[in-house]
Structure formats: structure tokens, C-alpha cells
């Protein structure tokens, strides 16, 4: 069995690197808005085609870009797989099932989440086709 710390620490580094990238993205969006003499909306969407961030990116646009990127890389995947990935990563990191259910938009206090991701919540961790108990 792998120690829990060996599974969580890489995830924390991953989260911090994403945080830095999001902060850099915010700085770019703010600079773009200032260059156009407008102000970035305080409740701006993270990814928006509008310079002030008031318009969300269309889901079809994201889906199509993701599909093109996956095809270019030769990966057989769909955007919905990121939802499953996110849920399993949160559960593997020890996040409470109810919290994960809320992030996924599941109702019923986590019953759906537990049914779908119960294997991961019960202590099994899956990594590259290998299983650890």
C-alpha cells in the first residue's frame, strides 16, 4: 500500500501550479481590458470571449477545442471524462463525498456520487491501470 502522503503531495503541487496559471491568466485579462480602456468585471468569467469578462465561453466551443486537441495528441477521450477525473482526484485526496457531490451538482446528499465513485471512496486508488488497496 502506498502511503497517503505519496498520493497527496503531487496533487498539491499540481493544484499550486494551476493556481499560478490562473493568476497569470487573470493578469493577462486585466491588462487586455486596461488596454481597451475598460474594466474587468468583478464577477468576470474565467474564460470569456468578451474583454470585460461578462460573457461565458460557449460550451460547444470548449468541447470542440478539447476534441481537436485530443485528436491532435492521439488521445481517445471526451470532455466529460474530465468530470470523472476531477471527482476521482478529489476523492483520492480525501475530500468528503458531500463536498464532491456539491461540486458535481449531484443532489441527494452524495448518494449518486457514492454510487458512481464508491470504489474510490472505499480506499481503492486507481493509477495507470494499477490498483492499490
Taking the complete model, does pTM exceed 0.85, yes or no?
A: no
pLDDT of residue 87: 87
Q: What is the pLDDT of residues 11-54, one digit of tens each?
A: 556 556 778 888 898 999 999 999 999 998 888 898 889 999 99
Q: Look at residue 106 and tell me whether its pLDDT is greater than 50.
A: yes
Distance separating alpha carbons of residues 66 and 47, to the nearest angstrom: 14
Residue spans per domain, the chain? 1-57, 58-133
Amino acid at each position: 500500500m502506498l502511503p497517503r502522503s505519496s498520493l497527496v503531495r503531487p496533487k498539491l503541487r499540481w493544484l499550486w501550479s494551476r493556481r499560478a496559471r490562473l493568476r497569470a491568466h487573470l493578469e493577462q485579462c486585466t491588462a487586455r481590458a486596461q488596454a481597451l480602456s475598460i474594466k474587468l468585471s468583478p464577477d468576470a468569467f474565467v474564460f470569456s470571449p468578451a474583454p470585460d469578462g461578462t460573457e461565458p465561453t460557449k460550451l460547444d466551443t470548449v468541447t470542440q477545442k478539447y476534441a481537436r486537441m485530443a485528436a491532435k495528441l492521439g488521445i481517445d477521450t471526451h470532455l466529460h471524462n474530465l468530470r470523472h477525473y476531477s471527482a476521482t482526484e478529489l476523492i483520492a485526496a480525501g475530500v468528503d463525498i458531500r463536498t464532491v457531490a456539491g461540486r458535481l451538482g449531484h443532489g441527494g446528499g452524495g448518494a449518486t456520487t457514492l454510487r458512481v465513485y464508491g470504489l474510490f471512496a472505499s480506499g481503492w486508488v486507481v493509477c495507470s491501470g494499477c490498483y492499490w488497496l
